[in-house]
C-alpha cells in the first residue's frame, strides 16, 4: 500500500488535520493506497499560491511557445511511462487493461494538442474609424479549479489542465478520492519540470469537503467540474456566489437510434461497445437503444447474442467488462435491475458475477432490459452500469421524439444508410455530440464535448475549450 501526499507550493504534504482516506482496487476490494483527507485550509493554501504565481513575473514572462513546451514535456513523460500508467489506471478504476491503455494514449494526445495550440490563441482587430485602432486580446482568467471524477481520471484531468496551462493560467486539481493514482503520477511529472512553483497544485479529499471549498473559493477564477447533476448544481451555485464562470459536464442518457437500413454488423459493434466501455460507468455511454420496430427482432437478437458472449473479470485480466467501482455504486445499479423485473423484461444478464481470485469486487453481467416505458425511471435516469434499455419507434418522427424525451442531451448515435435522414435528425436532436454510423470517433480529442439540458453547459476538448480559460479584453487607441 502506498502512502500518498498532496502537492501544494511545490511541496508534498499531509493534510493539515493529519487524516487520510483509503483507496481500494475495485476489482478486488483490496486497499492499495491512502491519500490525505484535505481540509478547507489545504484548499486555501493551494489557491493562494496559485494566485501568487499567476500574478508573478516568473510565470507571466513564460512565453506562449514555452508553455507549449511544458505540455509537450508532460506528453513525453506520459508516453515513456505508458505501460505502468495503463496498469495503474486499470488497478485504480477497475477498467479492462486495454481501456487503460486507451486512456493513457488520450491523455498524451491532449497534452500534445494543447501544447501545439499554446502560441496560436489569436486576438483580433476591429475597424472603427480613421485615427482609432481597436484590438481584442484573450488573456488568461487566473486560478483555475479542476474537480475530476472517478471514472476517467487521467483523461479528464489532462483535457482541462492542458488547456488551462496552454492559455497561461495556474491550476488547482482536486482528484476523486476513489481514483487518485494517475493524478498523483501526473503531479510527479509536473514536479520534475523546471517551472515556477505554484503553477500546478493537487489537493485530495472528499468532494463534499475539498471539492466544495475549492468551487466556492473567492480567489478561484474558473471552475471545471465533471460529475453528477446534483453535485454540478452545487458547484455552479458555489461558483456563482463569487461571480465565477463554470464548465459543467454532467450526466447522460444517450441514445443509439438504429434504422433497418443500417450496416448491421457495424451497428451491433457500435451499440455494444457504447454501453460496455468502463462497465457502463461513462457519462456518454449509449445506454438507450432505439430500434425501428420492423427491424427490432432481427437486430435485438444479434445484440442479445453478443451480450451473452461477453466476458466479465478484473481489470488486469482485460476481459470485456470490469467491475463496478464499489459496493455503493453496485447497489444503486442493482436497484435498477430489480425495478426492471417489475417494469420491464430482462433479455440478458441481470445477475451478479463472482470472479475467482477477485471475490472482493462487485461485478454484474452486461444487462439488456426490454419493454421499458419511455417515462419510467429506467428510461429517464442514468444507471451508470453495463445496462442497456430498449425502445422501438415506427418512423423518423417518433425516433426524434424518443431521442429528446429525457432531461439529458450529451451524445447521440444515428445508424442508417440514408444520409438525408441522418442529417435531418442531427439538426433536431438536443445533443452536444451526434455520431452518424459511429460512436465516439476515436476519443474525439479535437471535437467539442458537452451537453444540452441537464447534461451541463460549456464545452471541453478541441480548440473551443481554450476559450474556457481566457477572458476577452478590448483596447482602443486614438492616434493623430
- What is the rounded distance in angstroms from the CA atom of residue 77 to the CA atom of residue 344? 49
pLDDT band at 91 (very low <50, low <70, confident <90, very high): very high
For the stretch 245-298, pLDDT in tens is: 999 999 999 999 999 999 999 999 999 999 999 999 999 999 999 999 999 999
For the stretch 175-196, pLDDT in tens is: 999 999 999 999 999 999 999 9
Q: What distances in angstroms separate CA 197 from CA 46, 53, 78, 219, one per listed residue?
A: 11, 7, 21, 18
Mean pLDDT to the nearest integer, 77-83:
98
**89, 177, 209, 249: which one is catalytic?**
249
Which residue in this structure is represented by grid cell 484548499? 43
CA angle centred on 421, ends 416 and 424, rounded to 5°: 130
Dmax over CA atoms of the chain, in Å, equals 83
Mean pLDDT to the nearest integer, 450-476:
97
Q: Could you tell me the three cell numbers for 291?
A: 430500434
Which residue in this structure is represented by grid cell 425516433? 399
Does 442 score more than 70 pLDDT? no
Ordered by where they begin, the domains of the chain are: 2-250+458-476 (3.40.605.10), 255-444 (3.40.309.10)
Mean pLDDT to the nearest integer, 163-167:
98
Other CB atoms within 10 Å distance of the CB of residue 121: 19
66 given a catalytic annotation: no
Mean pLDDT to the nearest integer, 208-215:
97
CA angle centred on 240, ends 237 and 242, rounded to 5°: 125
pLDDT band at 441 (very low <50, low <70, confident <90, very high): confident
Does 443 score more than 90 pLDDT? no
Which residue in this structure is represented by grid cell 514555452? 66
Contacts 24+ apart (CB under 8 A), 182-185: 182/85, 182/88, 182/89, 182/92, 182/153, 182/154, 182/157, 183/148, 183/153, 183/154, 183/157, 184/4, 184/35, 185/81, 185/85, 185/88
pLDDT band at 57 (very low <50, low <70, confident <90, very high): very high
Running DSSP on this structure, what letter comes out for residue 324? Answer: B
- Residue 194: exposure state from Cβ atoms within 10 A (0-12, 13-18, ≥19): exposed
Does 170 score more than 90 pLDDT? yes
Q: What distances in angstroms separate CA 28 from CA 42, 93, 262, one per listed residue?
A: 31, 11, 40
Q: What distances in angstroms separate CA 192 from CA 10, 70, 88, 104, 154, one per listed residue?
A: 10, 11, 19, 19, 18
Average pLDDT score, the chain: 97
Mean pLDDT to the nearest integer, 327-344:
97
Mean pLDDT to the nearest integer, 383-400:
98
pLDDT at 389: 98
Amino acid at each position: 500500500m502506498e502512502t500518498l501526499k498532496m502537492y501544494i507550493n511545490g511541496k508534498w504534504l499531509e493534510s493539515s488535520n493529519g487524516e487520510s482516506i483509503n483507496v481500494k482496487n475495485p476489482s478486488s476490494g483490496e486497499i492499495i493506497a491512502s491519500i490525505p483527507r484535505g481540509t478547507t485550509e489545504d484548499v486555501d493554501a493551494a489557491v493562494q499560491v496559485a494566485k501568487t504565481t499567476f500574478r508573478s513575473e516568473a510565470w507571466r514572462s513564460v512565453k506562449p511557445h514555452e508553455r507549449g513546451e511544458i505540455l509537450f514535456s508532460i506528453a513525453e513523460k506520459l508516453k515513456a511511462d505508458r505501460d505502468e500508467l495503463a496498469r495503474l489506471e486499470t488497478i485504480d478504476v477497475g477498467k479492462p487493461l486495454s481501456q487503460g491503455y486507451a486512456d493513457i494514449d488520450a491523455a498524451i494526445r491532449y497534452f500534445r494538442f494543447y501544447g501545439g495550440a499554446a502560441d496560436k490563441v489569436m486576438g483580433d482587430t476591429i475597424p472603427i474609424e480613421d485615427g482609432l485602432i481597436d484590438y481584442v486580446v484573450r488573456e488568461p482568467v487566473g486560478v483555475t479549479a479542476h474537480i475530476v471524477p472517478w471514472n476517467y481520471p487521467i483523461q479528464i484531468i489532462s483535457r482541462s489542465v492542458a488547456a488551462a496551462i496552454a492559455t497561461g493560467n495556474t491550476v488547482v486539481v482536486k482528484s476523486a478520492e476513489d481514483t487518485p493514482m494517475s493524478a498523483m503520477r501526473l503531479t510527479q511529472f509536473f514536479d520534475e519540470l523546471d517551472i515556477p512553483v505554484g503553477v500546478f497544485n493537487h489537493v485530495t479529499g472528499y468532494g463534499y469537503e475539498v471539492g466544495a471549498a475549492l468551487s466556492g473559493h473567492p480567489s478561484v477564477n474558473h471552475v471545471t467540474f465533471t460529475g453528477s447533476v446534483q453535485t454540478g448544481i452545487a458547484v455552479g451555485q458555489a461558483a456563482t456566489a463569487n461571480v465565477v464562470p463554470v464548465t459543467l459536464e454532467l450526466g447522460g442518457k444517450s441514445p443509439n437510434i438504429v434504422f433497418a437500413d443500417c450496416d448491421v454488423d457495424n451497428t451491433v459493434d457500435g451499440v455494444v461497445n457504447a454501453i460496455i466501455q468502463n462497465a457502463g460507468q461513462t457519462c456518454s455511454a449509449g445506454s438507450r437503444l432505439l430500434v425501428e420496430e420492423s427491424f427490432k427482432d432481427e437486430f435485438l437478437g444479434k445484440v442479445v447474442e453478443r451480450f451473452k458472449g461477453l466476458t466479465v473479470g478484473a481489470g488486469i485480466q482485460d476481459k470485456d467488462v470490469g467491475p463496478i467501482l464499489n459496493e455503493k455504486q453496485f447497489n444503486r445499479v442493482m436497484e435498477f435491475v430489480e425495478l426492471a423485473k417489475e417494469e420491464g423484461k430482462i433479455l440478458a444478464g441481470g445477475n451478479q458475477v463472482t470472479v475467482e481470485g477477485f471475490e472482493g469486487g462487485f461485478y454484474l453481467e452486461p444487462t439488456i432490459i426490454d419493454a421499458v416505458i419511455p417515462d419510467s425511471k429506467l428510461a429517464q435516469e442514468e444507471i451508470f452500469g453495463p445496462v442497456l434499455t430498449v425502445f422501438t419507434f415506427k418512423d423518423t418522427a417518433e425516433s426524434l421524439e424518443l431521442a429528446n424525451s429525457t432531461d439529458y442531451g450529451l451524445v447521440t448515435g444515428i445508424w442508417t444508410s440514408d444520409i438525408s435522414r441522418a442529417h435531418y435528425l442531427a439538426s433536431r436532436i438536443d445533443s452536444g455530440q451526434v455520431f452518424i454510423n459511429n460512436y465516439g470517433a476515436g476519443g474525439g480529442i479535437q471535437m467539442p464535448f458537452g451537453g444540452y439540458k441537464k447534461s451541463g453547459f460549456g464545452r471541453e476538448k478541441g480548440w473551443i475549450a481554450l476559450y474556457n480559460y481566457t477572458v476577452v479584453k478590448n483596447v482602443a487607441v486614438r492616434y493623430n
